Chain A
Amino acid sequence: MTDPIRPALLDVDHLKVSFATDRGRVTAINDVSFRIDDGEFVAIVGESGSGKTVSLLSILGLTDRRTTFVEGTAAFRGRPILGLPDRELRRIRGKQIAFIPQDPLTALTPVHTIGWQIVEQIRTHETVSKEAAKKRAIELLDEVGLPNPAAAFGRYPHQLSGGMRQRAVIAMALSCNPALLVADEPTTALDVTVQAQVLDLLKRLRRDHGSAIILITHDMGVVAEVADRVMVMYAGRVIERGTAREIFAAPEHPYTWGLMASIPPVEGPRPHRLPSIPGTPPTPANIPPGCAFAPRCAHRFAPCAGLPPALSASGHDAFCFLDDNARAAGRAALFAAPETAA
């Protein structure tokens, strides 16, 4: 899988992120490594506080350097990007790596039109005339499926609906043809029919532009819909990773089982009770030692007090002490024909 000659698009190695708080250093991300190749669609799944957003923000240099400490390495096309001065980072961010935030309103300034903001973005990174940039902006708005793009160009963010705003932000992210698109919960604030439109758009972008996409989400359904590869995060670590096909066919980590089983089905028999994970996810300040999921895990045993063996470098693997037989049994117990309502 790993091509020794051509460096990965994004290669993250032993990333560790900690914050300075009034109660001392708090480690939010621990030992996260992954690589993304050109044109891949990778999903990072986790609940709030799992570190899925912080890990990417810190790679992109978007965290506050005075209070956030980032260790490890991250290389974009072979070039280290952690700790690059802002001036140089800005040449990569926005041009080669684009970021789509969860709430499009925070990414748009209310005092300028959508068109003005896209033109500014294009002219920051490329030397083109205003007219050419405007033409390009309208094309982009058309491409992301905004009805009447020329009119949308002159609109202010508050004049657009949530779905239209998110598409305008995606148009802005695409303006420089980025090699990597990082989307942080891009559909969470949207209605389900609009979410379907935006997911289709992301899939089309990957196909037409060959951009790699990292999608951060808490929704397993969204992951199943779009991703090639999946990383599941819990309490600041990647606890399972594999191709989407592998993970949905046979999830390995008890947390992943719980996540998948606790989604109420929209078809088939209705379970009498939803299988649920007891307790709540830990906050970065109180991550338990050893396996962080152990206190909530029905399968915990003595070894779980220590840290599970590191994930293998490639392939489907889980950060867990259970052996293959125990995993198969645990999975079968949870996903076997559910008890249905009378």
Chain B
Amino acid sequence: MTPSKATPLLEARELSKRYMVGKTFMPGSGRAVHAVDKVSLSVWAGETVGLVGESGSGKSTLGRCLTRLYDISGGQLLYEGEDISEATARELLPIRRKMQMIFQDPSASLNPRRRVRDMLAEPLAVHKIRPRNEIGDRLAELMGLVGLPVEYLDRYPHEFSGGQRQRIGIARALAMEPQLIVADEPVSALDVSVQAQVVNLFADLRERLNLTYVFIAHDLGVVRQVSTRVVVMYLGTIVEMGETESLFAAPAHPYTRALLSAIPRLSASGERIVLEGDLPSPLDPPKGCVFSTRCPLATDLCRNERPKLTAGANGRSVACHTPLAS
């Protein structure tokens, strides 16, 4: 099947991920936590989808379900129109090549006992991407792409700074010549001055290699900088999504507005909406709207009936009974 305008690169249809907690040997014990609850999301070739939300929102779990790093518990996942929800590891192998993941902590995702050269060469050999005699050239090319000197190929991970390690993590993902990269908090462990370098690298690589990204981050400034579209998650569900600049300029969901207003800014502007309390337990989600327990505008309707994610004008979708006017 060829990708076309009509087929998203990656599509989740009512995707769910449940975990059982408190399960003992007694039959029927334990309860299900809905980490991701019936999320539908299409990722189109060439775009960068920013996934934002606070801890417990399910954004990382969703990212890992999208790459089938986690098995999904419900719904469907399609890659270029092909259903891969139930695909076995063997069936997934060709798709894994096209879909790579980059993780938050580059030191935890690199093997401390192996040289960069070996870590980058292994996937090339496993997936038989390049003949053996071309691997050396490809490695040099990869290092060039991520802005590291070729000599660093013979170093071990501990010899690098955090920013350089993350560049190696990116090089390893690029080794597979993927179409789609799911990056889970790729810059949040980096110092501010280094973070900007890596954010720029992501943008450069997208242009040079025609990549599509799903970019998961809690830093809203970073997400705004890299994304073409933003998806806001809360308690395992999507509460709002839309085109980046319009979503930041005029959020429609009260949660998005509170989240944006909470960012400390260099120049004091606008009033801050300080939310009361914490995220509700995903074991015991509110009956109505997921945000109704903390929403300053919640009504009885909100507390009793969960609003559906509804598409509006300009590609904006919002799950709210009383969305804010722009």
Contacts of A274 in B (CB 8 A): 196, 199-200, 225
Q: Does B42 contact A (CB under 8 A)?
A: no
> B218–A265 contact, CB under 8 A?
no
Q: For chain B, which range describes its interface: under 10, 10 to 19, 20 to 34, or 35 or more residues? A: 35 or more
Of A163, A194, A258, most B-chain CB atoms within 10 Å: A194
B1 contact set on A, CB distance < 8 A: none
| Assembly CA distance A266 to B222 (angstroms) | 8
The answer, yes or no, to whether B134 is at the interface (CB within 8 Å) is no
B residues 223-278 with Cβ under 8 Å of A? 224-225, 245, 248-249, 258-260, 262-269, 272, 274-275, 277-278
B221 at the interface (CB under 8 A from A): yes
Q: Which residue of B lies closest to A280 (CB)?
A: B161
A264-315 with Cβ < 8 A to chain B: 264-267, 270-271, 273-278, 280-281, 296
* Smallest CB gap from B53: residue in A: A191
**Neighbour of A196 across the interface among B197, B218, B222, B272, CB < 8 A:** B272
Q: How many A-B residue pairs have CB under 8 A?
A: 123
A192, A221, A263, A280: the one within 8 Å of B194 (CB):
A280
Q: Give the shortest distance, in Å, between B83 (CB) and chain A (any CB).
A: 35
> A193 and B54: CB pair below 8 A?
yes
The docked-state distance in angstroms from the alpha carbon of A263 to that of B277 is 28
Contact A224:B192 (CB < 8 A) given known A164-B278, A192-B220 = no
**Residues of A close to B221: CB separation below 8 A:** 263-266
Q: Is B210 an interface residue (CB 8 A)?
A: no
Q: Does B104 contact A (CB under 8 A)?
A: no
Q: Measured between alpha carbons, how far is A161 from B54 in the docked complex, in Å?
A: 13
Residues from chain A with a CB closer than 8 A to the CB of B199 are: 264, 274
Contact of B220 among A163, A194, A224, A266 (CB under 8 A): A266
By the criterion CB–CB under 8 Å, are B274 and A163 in contact?
A: no
Selected from A221, A258, A273, A296, the residue in CB contact (under 8 A) with B266 is: A221
The reply to whether B55 and A270 form a contact with Cβ atoms under 8 Å apart is no
25 contacts between A and B (CB under 8 A): A47-B192, A161-B278, A161-B279, A192-B54, A192-B262, A193-B258, A222-B264, A224-B265, A224-B268, A262-B192, A263-B192, A265-B224, A266-B221, A266-B263, A266-B265, A267-B249, A273-B203, A274-B200, A275-B196, A276-B194, A276-B196, A277-B193, A278-B197, A280-B164, A280-B194
8 nearest CB pairs, A to B: A221-B264, A276-B196, A262-B196, A191-B54, A264-B221, A264-B225, A47-B191, A277-B193
A250 contacts the other chain (CB 8 A): no
Measured in the bound complex, the distance between the Cα atoms of B45 and A36 in whole Å is 55
Besides A195-B262, A267-B269, A271-B225, 14 more A-B contacts (Cβ < 8 Å) are A47-B192, A147-B277, A191-B218, A192-B220, A192-B262, A193-B274, A220-B192, A224-B266, A224-B268, A248-B266, A266-B220, A267-B248, A280-B161, A281-B191
Question: Do A259 and B192 touch across chains, with their CB atoms under 8 A apart?
Answer: yes
Residue on B nearest A272 in the bound complex, by CB? B203
Cβ contacts under 8 Å, A266 to chain B: 220-221, 224, 248, 260, 263, 265
Q: How far is the CA of A161 from the CA of B263 in the complex (A)?
A: 20
B266 touches A220 (CB 8 A): yes
A192 and B275 CA atoms in complex are apart in Å by: 10
Complexed CA–CA distance, A154 and B311 (Å): 46
* A162 interfacial by beta-carbon distance below 8 Å: yes
Candidate in B197, B225, B275 with the most chain A CB atoms within 10 angstroms: B225
- A199 proximal to B (CB < 8 A): yes
In the complex, the answer to whether A193 meets B259 with C-beta atoms within 8 Å is yes
Cβ of B43 to closest chain A Cβ, rounded Å: 21
Could you tell me if B222 and A219 are in contact, using CB atoms closer than 8 angstroms? no
Q: Is A117 an interface residue (CB 8 A)?
A: no
Count chain A residues whose beta carbon lies closer than 8 angstroms to a beta carbon of B. Answer: 44
Q: How far is the CA of A168 from the CA of B200 in the complex (A)?
A: 39
B186 at the interface (CB under 8 A from A): no
Q: Does A218 contact B (CB under 8 A)?
A: yes
**A262 lies within 8 A of B195 (CB):** yes
CB distance from A169 to the nearest CB of B (A): 16
In angstroms, how far is the closest chain B Cβ from the Cβ of A54? 16
Known contacts A193-B262, A260-B266; A270 and B275 CB within 8 A of each other = no
Is B169 close to A, CB under 8 A?
A: no
Chain B 171-209: CB-based contact to A (< 8 A → 1; otherwise 0): 000000000000000000001111111011001000000
B222 CB contact (under 8 Å) in A161, A220, A264, A277: A264
CA distance in complex: A196, B248 (Å): 18
Report the separation of the CA atoms of residues A47 and B161 in the bound assembly, to the nearest whole angstrom: 13
Min C-beta distance of A222 to chain B, whole Å:
5
Task: Tell me the smallest distance from the CB of A31 to a CB of chain B, in Å.
Answer: 23
**Contact flag A258-B193 (CB < 8 Å), given A192-B263, A264-B225, A265-B224:** yes
Contact status B193-A197, CB under 8 Å: no
Q: Please provide the chain A residues from 192 to 220 with a CB less than 8 Å away from any CB of chain B in the complex.
A: 192-197, 199-200, 218-220
- What's the Cα separation between A259 and B275 when bound, in Å? 29
**CB closest chain-B residue, reference A197:** B274
Is B157 close to A, CB under 8 A?
Answer: no
**Residue B163 CB within 8 A of the other chain:** yes
> Nearest chain B CB to A331's CB is how many angstroms away?
14
A218: chain B residues within 8 A (beta carbon): 191-192
| Minimum CB distance partner of A218 in chain B | B192
A163 x B225 contact (CB < 8 A): no
Q: Is the CB of B203 within 8 A of A192?
A: no
Flag if A221 contacts B265 (CB, 8 Å).
Answer: yes
Does A126 reach chain B (CB closer than 8 Å)? no
Cα–Cα distance between A222 and B55 once the two chains are bound (Å): 19
Within the complex, the shortest CB–CB distance from B18 to chain A, in Å, comes to 21
**Residue pair A219, B264 in contact (C-beta under 8 Å):** yes
* Complex contacts, A221 vs chain B, CB 8 Å: 263-266
For the complex, give the distance between the alpha carbons of A161 and B197 in Å. 33
Report A203 CB to chain B, min CB distance, Å: 11
Tell me, in angstroms, the Cα distance from A301 to B199 when the chains sit together. 29
Decide: A276 and B197 in contact? CB cutoff 8 A: yes
**What's the Cα separation between A199 and B265 when bound, in Å?**
13
Contact residues in B for A339 (Cβ distance below 8 Å): none
